[in-house]
Structure 1
Amino acid sequence: MKKKCFVLMGYSGSGKTEIAKALEKYSYNILQSYTTRQPRYEGEYGHMFCTVDEYEQFERNGEVAAYSLIEGNHYFSTKEQIYNTPNLIYVCDPDGIKDLKEKITDIEFITIYIKVDKKTRMRRMHERGDSVDKILSRVTTDGIKFAKKRFDYQVINYEFDKAVKIIKNIIETENEQPLN
């Protein structure tokens, strides 16, 4: 039986990272990807921040998986993270998922699309401190990146606790065993 990795995908502001954090209490490990962008705030959850030189070193070593370029910044995980993290939940975009599935064929990636309307996403991005220019840029970029999205499951995220429970049930069903 192949190892399974559950990948949360959705437009900016859909709640992917918050859902991932909520799933940690069920013994799942959240893969924090690397990025060359600047942190939004000190101690930001969900990413490990690195330099372009560090990214290039990972790339030269053939370690980059789930690569995506967003607004000129590199986002990626490493093969080591994917292979060595048990009970894995990963937040990723369609480009990263495509790259991941091409580079790692001996793991089953189950994609869960988090759906929220544009107005709600924009409000959430504003509340987390994104500028109007940044919000509009992300909405435009996401529209292009997600135009041909493919996923295994779709979960609507207007009621956070309900969305987490649904995703927990998806994971349990896919694993055929209950989480803690």
Structure 2
Amino acid sequence: MKKVFLLMGYSGSGKTEVAKALEERGYNILQSYTTRQPRHESEWGHTFTTVEEYEHLEREKQIVAYSYFDNNHYFSTKEQLLETDVYVIDPDGIKDLKKRVPDIEFVAIYLKVDKKTRYKRMLKRGDDIDMRLKRINEDGIKFRKKRFDYQVINYELDKAVNVIDQIIKIERNE
């Protein structure tokens, strides 16, 4: 059975940076769809789309993972999953995936970082104060009942990526 490794963590936990580093090691990273505007011109990690395209894919029953945050849709399709190794996703999306896609095994990896560090990372990437506070508050609600298979501490990117690389290899019996 195909395995997809799910990276989850609070805002500012380093999910995107870990995913980029894993991509450099040859893993296929799912670029999820979102209807939000890019934070900057070359933002990595999402395919930016319209509400109309989201509605079309929803009508066609193409969406297999879905989350809604800050008036924006975040989602992926089964076709994307079949071509990916790693997917950055939140607990709502994981719950949706497991319900809609029983023929893929999902391994959830939670990136753990303290609130102060996450706040500094959000500041560094340009989130304004209202957005930082909103994300911290909503994450507290969204992650209250988080379930994961592995927890990886992410204060040093290289160490976290090495641990995740090993988890993937062990899970795949490589």
TM-score normalized with structure 1 length: 0.95
Q: Residue 56 of structure 2 corresponds to which residue in structure 1? A: 57
Shift of 1:72: 1.2
1:113 to 110, 121, 142: 110
Would you say how many aligned residue pairs link Structure 1 and Structure 2?
Answer: 174
Match of 1:170 in 2: 167
| Other-structure match for 2:137 | 140
SS in structure 2 of the partner of residue 57 of structure 1: helix
Q: Which runs of 4+ in 1 moved over 3 A?
A: none
Structure 1 residue runs without a partner (length 5+) = none
Deviation of 1:114 (Å): 0.2
What does residue 155 of structure 2 align with?
Answer: 158
Deviations 1:70-125 (A, max 9, x none): 11110000111112x04x10000000000011000000000000000011001000
Cα deviation digits, residues 38-89 of structure 1 (max 9, x gap): 1000010000111111100010000011100011110000111112x04x10
Q: Which amino acid aligns with 1:117?
A: D
User: In structure 1, what is the Cα distance between the partners aligned to 2:65 and 2:7?
Assistant: 13
Match of residue 23 from structure 1: 22
Provide the TM-score with structure 2 as the length reference. Answer: 0.98
Q: Distance in 2 between matches of 1:35 and 1:65?
A: 14
Residue 25 of structure 1: how far off its partner (Å): 2.3
Any idea what SS the aligned residue of 2:67 has? strand
| Percent identity over paired residues | 65
Give the aligned partner of residue 7 of structure 1: 6
Shift, 1:160, TM fit: 1.1
**SS of residue in 2 equivalent to 1:55:** helix
Per-residue displacement from partner, 1:133-170 (whole Å, max 9, x unpaired)?
Answer: 00000001100000000000000001111101000110
Partners of 1:42 and 1:141 in 2: CA distance:
26
Kindly report the root-mean-square deviation, in angstroms, between the aligned alpha carbons of the 2 structures: 0.7
Shift of 1:26: 2.2
Q: 2: distance between equivalents of 1:176 and 1:18?
A: 25
Indicate the residue corresponding to 1:103 in structure 2: 100
Give 1:126-137 correspondences, 5 Å limit. 126-137=123-134
Structure 2: runs of 5 or more not aligned: none
Q: Distance in 2 between matches of 1:101 and 1:134?
A: 29
Counterpart amino acid of residue 61 in structure 2: G
Q: C-alpha distance in 2, partners of 1:46/1:26?
A: 16
